[in-house]
Structure 1
Amino acid sequence: MTNPSPNLISDQILEKTKKHPCYSADAHNKYARIHLPVAPNCNIQCNYCNRKFDCVNESRPGVTSEVLTPDLAKEKFVWVKREIDQLTVVGIAGPGDALANWEYTKATIEKIKETNTDVTFCLSTNGLMFPEYASEIIALGVHHVTVTVNALDPEIGAKIYKFVSYKGKIYEGSAAAELLSRNQLAGIEYLAQRGVLVKVNIVMIKGINDHHIPEVVKKVKELGAFITNIMPLIPAPGSAFEEFPQTSMKDINDLRNTCQLDIQQMRHCKQCRADAIGLLGEDRSQEFRMCNRQTPKIRTPKVEEKQYKIAVTSKYGKLVDQHFGHAAEFIIYQGDGHDFQVLEKRAVEQYCQGMEECDNDESKREGTILSVQDCDAVLTMRIGYHAKLQLGAKGIYSVEYCDTVENGLSYTVNQLTNKVLL
């Protein structure tokens, strides 16, 4: 098999690549990027991954301080672009997988295009959903795609991936790794043959895939990959590999030097957060959290001064930024849609640990629901299907929202007064 012709890559794409800090070593200290965390769900479980929200001192893939809707992502882009003139790239890198949340990913790109036609869009994915969405990626005008390929050999992959969820079925072991690899490789070839610049990330895990990586590099080069990025394992607390040693940069660079003979190597990667902003070496994500932005208050009409009691999942009482099942307490607000006050904070037993499906502990979930049974509604960033049904059965309306608590409360009252309880 031969590599795609360089003629497939337009001069315009090559010019944009010069201003892409991840694809061009010369650009990383001149041009900025913004990662918009609009993709919370993931369809695989890597043994090195623990996706934890609001861990401000960590810089690794899968970490974010907030999850945004496409509308809020557009607002954030406009805000950041106004403040950082050298912003050239919009990336979607989680905190889950961009293609596992394709509806949100696509809507975000379309909305930002309405405000800016010059920005370069970039997606990061595990590649599992390439067969479904590769053609749509091209149609959407995305010309830079990063895919993480850690193994070709299913037996090696089985040591890296706990499970793969694909089309409603859970795969484990070598079957999961084989399915994932097959979809990844097919997608790389498809995209590269159509002029998309594909960067392949590879996590180097000593004793598991380090000896296998040169084979991975040769294969993705054969399929048309533009560049590979061999990255050190960062042992994430709470992950299956938390006790593994972090791969040394000497080992990384030795392997990069070996693989440089086959394809160009990225050597300036910072393994960025899913909400990273700014230059690669100067992350300004905490400066641009949505809770720091001044937003107009949503006003709703008075409704006969009816008082509503609403339970909110919020880390610090500013943003609606917690999953219903992740909450260790609810902040109980009471108000009429215009003005609210905090009545109390109620501690609950967290029933979702965030690593797998959350709706698996019936007794804990029931206890959580009973703790808010006197409320009219629950305002939360995300909520599982079964929890939502159980709340509805008790006459409690559940609202999924991602903005300030103040706006969320007003929005919830608006929903209560204009919609039938589900």
Structure 2
Amino acid sequence: MGGCSVDLDMNFPEETSLDTMLKTSKHPCYSECAHEYARMHIPVAPKCNISCNYCNRKYDCLHESRPGVTSEVLTPQGAYKKYLLVKEKLPNLKVIGIAGPGDALANFEETKKAIELIRENDPEMTICISTNGLMLPEYAEELVQLGVRHVTITINTIDPKIGASIYKWVYYKGKILVGEEGAQVLLNNQLKGLTYLASKGVLCKVNIVMVKGLNDEHIPEVVDKVKECGAFMTNIMPLIPAEGSEFEDMPLVSNKELNELRDKCSLNLKQMYHCKQCRADAIGQLSQDISIEFRGSVSEPQEEKKSDNIGGSELLFAVASKTGRLIDQHFGHVEDFLVYKYTEQGIVLVDKRSIDKYCTGKECDDKDDKMSSIIDLLADCEAVLSMRIGYEPKKKLLERGIKSLELYDAIEDGIEHAVEKLNLKQIS
């Protein structure tokens, strides 16, 4: 693994500026010697545009520590307020990261706004983002303009056949792509974005989730390829089998197996050995997450979060659909809500959100806990559209300002009907 050196002898690419080198020496994820410095993840990006079989997108968990988990989702303004509190209490704060709980670039407007607010306060703060890379070709140039000099891209495979086993679906340009087709589109965009960023002097760390028996033997090929595209380092991480995910019963990777693979790949490219697989709201040094001390420190009423949509030109609707074409499912039977955005220009699918089914049999167990999770997941939606919905869930949704409608119709027609019935059209 090598020893710690506080100088700049880190084999930086030629394109790397001196400023980026200096900031990297104080970035705890990029330099093992930067362990005394703190970082803060701001959870402003709840939506995700791919579905990984190792992920369970219940991002409201208080007690788990893994990527994709947070105790709250903040608006850019709320994240800025929290940043000011953390900065005041942690003088060693050097890095602000945006790592979810979804994907930073699937929520680009929120990500961009949060970066701009923090940059106005502290132009020297290191800003980094984590992404699956699907939207990198679209936003890479703008990230460079925003002053982002550290980007982490998760690239688990360069073989679409393996990718088809890792990714359930990829949502790209209004279409849900599955199997090798989705994996190939994702891979093409990841490598294109990585190559562009590296050419602009951005230090790119590539995360690779090691799934035993699936991509473990393939990972050295991934490292070779991303090095060719300009990656600065790779971070091979063990699969954390999330309960409720497709991979929840996959075998665990031992530390011995993990480090043997890291050692092998380190002969070709710098490796990260000290990753803690942090939460999307982590705060503090890598060795000591103190985010719990700041939970609830910023008050953001639900009305404030939704103010941009109410009576405006963009509205989100959560749709219960078995077919993907019709509103044809009972609320209690939904496992994946389709989230559509309504604008004056049209209706587009923007997200797919997985939940614990509200009803699992003749009787619904743990209804209150499940309903609370569902409401948190749909908090940015104006209404839920389903074929049927019971009195209790309908009441609880309404208590949080989320309306519900029962109808059986084509999805787009149903959304148009909901906009008219609920009087949500913008008054000109």
For 1:51 and 1:12, the matched residues in 2 are separated by 36
1:63 and 2:69 are equivalent in the alignment: yes
Q: Deviations over 1:88-132 (max 9, x none)?
A: 000000000000000000000001111111210000000000111
Match for residue 6 of structure 1?
Answer: 13
For 2:160 and 2:73, the matched residues in 1 are separated by 33
For 2:185 and 2:219, the matched residues in 1 are separated by 19
SS in 1 for 2:209: strand
Q: Deviations over 1:15-37 (max 9, x none)?
A: 00000000001012x00000000
Tell me if structure 2 keeps the 8 A contact 1:90–1:122: yes
- How far the C-alpha of 1:379 sits from its partner, in A, is 3.4
Which segments of 5 or more consecutive residues in structure 1 lack a partner in the other structure? Answer: 299-322, 330-345, 398-418
Relative to structure 1, the CA distance from residue 420 to residue 292 in structure 2 (aligned partners, 3 Å threshold; closer, same or farther) is same
Give every structure 1 segment of 4 or more consecutive aligned residues whose post-TM-superposition deviation is greater than 6 Å. 323-329, 346-349, 358-361, 383-392, 419-422
- How far the C-alpha of 1:206 sits from its partner, in A, is 0.6
Q: Which amino acid in 1 is paired with 2:13?
A: P
For 1:56 and 1:372, the matched residues in 2 are separated by 22
SS in 1 for 2:121: coil
Output the TM-score relative to the length of structure 1. Answer: 0.74
1:27 and 2:34 are equivalent in the alignment: yes
Match for residue 156 of structure 2?
Answer: 150
For 1:387 and 1:61, the matched residues in 2 are separated by 35
Correspondence for 2:387 among 359, 363, 377: 363
For 1:126 and 1:172, the matched residues in 2 are separated by 16
- How far the C-alpha of 1:363 sits from its partner, in A, is 3.3
Match for residue 270 of structure 1?
Answer: 276
For 1:368 and 1:396, the matched residues in 2 are separated by 24
Match for residue 404 of structure 1?
Answer: none
For 1:260 and 1:394, the matched residues in 2 are separated by 60
- How far the C-alpha of 1:249 sits from its partner, in A, is 1.1
Percent identity between matched residues is: 53
Q: Which amino acid in 1 is paired with 2:401?
A: L
SS in 2 for 1:211: helix
Q: Deviations over 1:119-154 (max 9, x none)?
A: 100000000001111111111110000000000011
Output the TM-score relative to the length of structure 2. Answer: 0.73
Relative to structure 1, the CA distance from residue 202 to residue 360 in structure 2 (aligned partners, 3 Å threshold; closer, same or farther) is farther
Correspondence for 2:266 among 256, 260, 265: 260
Tell me if structure 2 keeps the 8 A contact 1:73–1:108: yes
Q: Which amino acid in 1 is paired with 2:34?
A: A
For 2:285 and 2:192, the matched residues in 1 are separated by 32
Tell me if structure 2 keeps the 8 A contact 1:43–1:166: yes
For 1:116 and 1:87, the matched residues in 2 are separated by 11
1:79 and 2:101 are equivalent in the alignment: no
Q: Deviations over 1:171-226 (max 9, x none)?
A: 10111111111100011110001100000000000100001000000010111100
Match for residue 125 of structure 1?
Answer: 131
1:41 and 2:65 are equivalent in the alignment: no
Match for residue 224 of structure 2?
Answer: 218
Correspondence for 1:106 among 104, 112, 120: 112
For these two proteins, the number of residue pairs brought into alignment is 350
SS in 2 for 1:137: helix
Match for residue 242 of structure 2?
Answer: 236
- How far the C-alpha of 1:348 sits from its partner, in A, is 10
Tell me if structure 2 keeps the 8 A contact 1:205–1:233: yes
Tell me if structure 2 keeps the 8 A contact 1:365–1:387: no
SS in 2 for 1:78: helix
- How far the C-alpha of 1:54 sits from its partner, in A, is 3.0
For 1:224 and 1:236, the matched residues in 2 are separated by 31
- How far the C-alpha of 1:378 sits from its partner, in A, is 4.2
Q: Deviations over 1:334-390 (max 9, x none)?
A: xxxxxxxxxxxx9698495969xx9997135575675379x7x7436xx99999978
Q: Which amino acid in 2 is paired with 1:117?
A: P
How well do the aligned residues superpose, as a CA RMSD in angstroms? 3.7
Correspondence for 1:379 among 375, 381, 401: 401
Which segments of 5 or more consecutive residues in structure 2 lack a partner in the other structure? Answer: 1-10, 304-338, 340-352, 359-366, 406-410
